[in-house]
Chain A
Amino acid sequence: MSMIEIDQVSKWYGAFQVLADCSTQVNKGEVVVVCGPSGSGKSTLIRCVNGLEGIQQGNIIVNGIALADLKTNLSKLRSRVGMVFQNFELFPHLSVTDNLTIGQIRMLGRSKEEAQARGLKMLDRVGLKAQAAKYPGALSGGQQQRVAIARALAMDPICMLFDEPTSALDPEMVKEVLDVMVELATEGMTMMCVTHEMGFARKVADRVIFMDHGRIVEDAAKSDFFGTPRSERVQLFLSKILQH
C-alpha cells in the first residue's frame, strides 16, 4: 500500500527542466532516503509531494489523494503531511509552545488545552520539555530542528518529509537530530528524507533514491544501493561522500 506515489513527474522553471520523468513511491511504514549532488532536484521533488511546488506533467498521489485533482483540499492534506526544512523555519515571533500549537488549533480545530498537551508531549519526546516557554531564537540549531520535528509530529502526520534536516547544523548537533529521526523510523513512521547522512540511510532506510540532473538515476533497496550500485555516477558520488 503506497503512501506517496510519484508518477512520471516533470517540472520546468521556464526553459530549465528541474525534474525529468521522475517515478517512485513510498509505501506505508517505509523510509526512503533521497540523495544526489547539489542542484539535482531533490528539494524540488520533495516539495512537490505536498504541493509547495506545482508540476507541469505527471501525477502525485498522497494517501490515495491526487494533488492535481481540483476537488483535493490541499490545505487539509498538507496539515497531515509533516515537513521539516533545512533551516528549521520555526516562527521566530512565537514561543516554542505557540509554534507547536498554532497548526493544531488553526488547522485541526483542536482546543488550546488539547493542542498544548499534544505539543508538550511531542516536545518531551524530542527531549526539550524544559524549553517550552522560550523563543526559537534562544535555542541552538539542533534544538530548533528538534522543535520543528515536534511541531510536525503534533499534527499527527500520516507521513513525514525531511529536506536536508541536518545540513545547516554544526557537526556536534547532527547526532541529536538524527537520533530523533532514527527513533521515528523504527516506530514505523513513513518517511521521505533528502539527506546525505549515509549512516542514517544504512541504519534505517528501506530504499535509497539517487538523483542527478532532475532524474531518478537509481532507486534501489538499501542493500543493493550500498552493495552493488549500478551506475558509475552513484559510485563516484558514494566514494566522494564516504571519504569524509
Chain B
Amino acid sequence: MYEFDWSSILGALPILSHGMLVTLEITLTAIVIGILWGTLLALARLSDIRPLAWLAAGYVNLFRAVPLVMVILWFYLIVPALLKDVIGAAAGSDIRMVSALVAFALFESAYYAEIIRAGVQSVPKGQVNAAYALGMPYALTMRLVVLPQAFRNMLPLLLTQVIILFQDTSLVYVIGLADFFGAAYKVGDRDGRLVEMVLFAGAVYFVLCFGASLLVRQLRKRFAT
C-alpha cells in the first residue's frame, strides 16, 4: 500500500507559484496576441480579396491540423536562429520562454480565428449595410459595429478556448520549461514524491478550469436571455 506524504507541497510553494506565473504569462500572451492576430485572420478569411482569403485559410488549416506539441518543438528549434538573424538579439536569453510564447500565440490565433469568423458571421448583414449607409468605411464598420457584437456573441466560446489553452500550456514540458506542471513534476522528482505532486497539480488545474467553466455556463445563460 502506497503511503501518501503531502508534506513536501508546502516547501515547494515558491517554486510552484513561479511555475504558475509562467503558465499565466504564456496563457495571457497567447490570448492577447491570439485575439488580435486571430481577428485579422478571420477578417482576411471573410474578405472578398481571394488571395488574402486563401492565405488566411491556409494558415488556419495548417495550425489546426498539426499537434500543438510539435509546434512548440518547432519554434524552440527555429526561434533562436530567427532571433539571431532578424533581431540580432543574444541567443543566450530565455529562448525557451520566447519560443513558447511565439508558438502559443501563433497556434492559438488559428483557433481564435475560426471562433471570431463564426462570430462575425453571426452579426446580421443588415448591420453592415446600416453602417455603410451612414458612410462608414469597411474598417470602421468592423471596429465599431460588427466586432463588438461578434465578441459579445462568441464570448462563451472564446472563454472555453482560453480554458483549453490554460491546460495546454503544460505541453511546454517538451522543451523543459518549468510552467506550473513542469515545476510540480521537478519538485516531485527531486523529493521522491512524484505521485503526490502530480495529483496536487492535477487538483489545481481541475479547480481552476472547472470553476472557469461554471462561470462560462453562467455567462451563456445570461446571454441567452
A interface residues with partner B (beta carbon < 8 Å): 47, 50, 52, 75-83, 85, 87, 89-93, 102-103, 106-107, 151-152, 155
Contact = CB atoms under 8 A, between A and B. Distances in A.
B129 A103 contact: no
Contact of B126 (A50, A77, A87, A106): A87
Contacts of A151: 134
B130 A76 contact: no
A78 B132 contact: yes
Contact of B133 (A52, A76, A102, A106): A52
A52 B148 contact: no
Interface in B97-138: 124, 126-127, 129-137
B130 A107 contact: no
B129 A107 contact: no
Contact of B134 (A47, A87, A92, A102): A102
A42 to B, nearest CB: 15
B135 A103 contact: yes
Contacts, number: 60
B130 A91 contact: yes
Contacts of B131: 91
Contacts of B144: 102, 106
28 contacts: A50-B133, A52-B129, A52-B132, A52-B133, A75-B136, A77-B135, A78-B134, A79-B134, A80-B135, A82-B133, A83-B129, A83-B130, A83-B133, A85-B129, A89-B124, A89-B127, A89-B129, A89-B130, A90-B130, A91-B130, A91-B145, A91-B149, A93-B149, A106-B134, A106-B136, A107-B134, A107-B136, A155-B134
B140 interface: yes
Given A52-B129, A92-B149, 15 more contacts: A75-B135, A78-B135, A80-B135, A81-B133, A85-B126, A89-B129, A93-B152, A103-B136, A106-B135, A106-B136, A106-B140, A107-B134, A151-B134, A152-B133, A155-B135
A102 B198 CA distance: 54
Given A91-B145, A93-B148, A93-B149, A107 B126 contact: no
What range describes how many residues of B lie at the interface?
10 to 19
A107 B133 CA distance: 11
A50 B39 CA distance: 29
Nearest to B125: A89
Nearest to B152: A93
Contact of A79 (B127, B135, B149, B152): B135
Contacts of B132: 52, 78
Contacts of A76: 135
A89 B145 CA distance: 11
Contacts of B126: 85, 87, 89
Nearest to B145: A91
Contacts of B133: 50, 52, 78, 81-83, 85, 152
Interface in B153-199: none
Contacts of B127: 89, 91
Q: Which of A79, A90, A92, A155 is packed against the most chain B CB atoms within 10 Å?
A: A92
B48 to A, nearest CB: 11
Nearest to A89: B130
A94 B204 CA distance: 40
B193 to A, nearest CB: 52
A108 B48 CA distance: 28
Q: Which 5 A-B pairs have the closest CB atoms?
A: A79-B135, A89-B130, A103-B134, A83-B133, A107-B135
Contacts of A77: 135
Contacts of A83: 129-130, 133
Nearest to B134: A103
A83 B140 CA distance: 18
Contacts of B152: 93
Contacts of A90: 130
Contacts of A92: 149
Contacts of A85: 126, 129-130, 133
A90 B140 CA distance: 16
A106 B140 CA distance: 9
Nearest to A87: B126
